[in-house]
Amino acid sequence: MSAQPVPTTAEPKAVPLPASDAEAVSPGPAASAATPRRVALVTGANRGIGLEICRQLAAEGVRVLLSGRSAPAVTEAARRLASEGLDVEAVVLDVTDPRSIQAAADGIGHRHGRLDILVNNAAIRVEPYGCGPSAQPLALWHQTFATNLFGVVAVTQAMLPLLRRSPAARIVNVSSLLASLGTHSDPASYAYSDMFKSLPAYSASKSAVNAWTVHLAYELRETGIKVNAVHPGYTRTDMNEGAGELEPGQGALTSVRMALLGPDGPTGQYVHMGRQIPW
Ligand SMILES: NC(=O)c1ccc[n+]([C@@H]2O[C@H](COP(=O)([O-])OP(=O)(O)OC[C@H]3O[C@@H](n4cnc5c(N)ncnc54)[C@H](OP(=O)(O)O)[C@@H]3O)[C@@H](O)[C@H]2O)c1
């Protein structure tokens, strides 16, 4: 089986963020005597990029709620980070289960009273590589969208009341370069290839996440809540059988950066390492 085709060496031309936006990223420790420690929820965080997002946010002084669908897995992952001296709490959260989502929201509300950062990271890639869209079973599309899109929408809607209690909440939707319709449809692009087209259901689910990002950012434009989509980079994780180009810690950087955006940072954008990607 080949790897997930996200060649960072051949990425589309990215538009740099305005200098003010780049400078607005504030990676310094969150807590001070005057400012309460920020609280972040990361979905699908027991392994892969999500685990590294938790590690990096906690290292920045954020109280991290490390969530996943398996209680033993999140307990073990949180224990590992806690053993490194990081402030991490395990939360059981299956993004496809409405009762699990509501229980998580209720628990966070009870224990923390608000949420400052939501990173929608959980996703699946269940289709085999290279199966054309005309031949893919519909069940595979349902399964993919249940986690990758409906999970994002459901978790975000459930957490929004808590996010609205934050003075400056941030929502980071972990998308993919495979979501980019601009690159997919350009015959002159490297993405106009069998390799880049090999995961239609996964790619379409991430394009839909991008659309959700744009619509939600618009709805929340007058609030302090910023909503952005990110491409983490082609990263060595279980999702692509360890075939990526980046280490998981590098794959976490863009999400962490967008989670810690300052007040002048962008909203409604699709970015990788501080640069915009064509939709
Ligand atoms: N790796 C790459 O090259 C790459 C490139 C572009 C975008 N991305 C995106 O980056 C994000 C992280 O991917 P990754 O590479 O770290 O993948 P991964 O190693 O396969 O990890 C996926 C995580 O999602 C969790 N998950 C799956 N279904 C879930 C559900 N129903 N509820 C809660 N958690 C669930 C998994 O939990 P279990 O352990 O319980 O299965 C796991 O913790 C994803 O959004 C992915 O699409 C990755």
Dump pLDDT digits (tens) for 95-145. 999 999 999 999 999 999 999 999 999 999 999 988 889 989 999 999 999
Q: What is the CA radius of gyration of the chain?
A: 18
In terms of pLDDT, which residue wins out, 258 or 18? Answer: 258
Catalytic residue among 202, 218, 234, 270, which? 202
Has residue 238 been placed in a domain? yes
Has residue 215 been placed in a domain? yes
**Given pLDDT bands bounded at 50, 70 and 90, which one contains residue 60?**
very high
Task: Please tell me the total count of domains within the chain.
Answer: 1
Across residues 242-261, what is the average pLDDT?
96
Fill in the DSSP letter of residue 83: T
Please tell me if the CB atom of residue 127 comes closer than 6 angstroms to any atom of ligand 1. Answer: no
Has residue 241 been placed in a domain? yes
pLDDT tens digits, 221-235: 999 999 999 999 999
Please tell me if the CB atom of residue 47 comes closer than 6 angstroms to any atom of ligand 1. Answer: yes
d(CA 72, CA 70): 6
Which of 237, 246, 253, 277 maximizes ligand 1 atoms within 8 Å of its Cβ, making it the mutation to test the pocket?
237
Has residue 247 been placed in a domain? yes
Q: Is 202 designated active site?
A: yes
Q: What CATH number corresponds to the domain at position 105?
A: 3.40.50.720
Has residue 23 been placed in a domain? yes
Question: Atom 23 of ligand 1 has which residue's CA nearest to it?
Answer: 44
Has residue 3 been placed in a domain? no
**Given pLDDT bands bounded at 50, 70 and 90, which one contains residue 173?**
very high
Please tell me if the CB atom of residue 43 comes closer than 6 angstroms to any atom of ligand 1. Answer: yes
In terms of pLDDT, which residue wins out, 73 or 241? Answer: 73
**Given pLDDT bands bounded at 50, 70 and 90, which one contains residue 35?**
low
pLDDT tens digits, 76-91: 999 999 999 999 999 9
Across residues 245-261, what is the average pLDDT?
98
Whole-number average pLDDT of the chain: 89
Burial of 35 (0-12, 13-18, 19+ CB in 10 A): exposed
Has residue 57 been placed in a domain? yes
Range of the domain at 139: 8-276
Has residue 231 been placed in a domain? yes
d(CA 40, CA 256): 11
Neighbours of 183 (CB within 10 A): 22
Question: Atom 32 of ligand 1 has which residue's CA nearest to it?
Answer: 94
pLDDT over 80 at 259, yes or no: yes
pLDDT for res 34: 56
CA dihedral for 102, 103, 104, 109, sign (positive or negative):
positive
Please tell me if the CB atom of residue 126 comes closer than 6 angstroms to any atom of ligand 1. Answer: no
d(CA 56, CA 30): 12
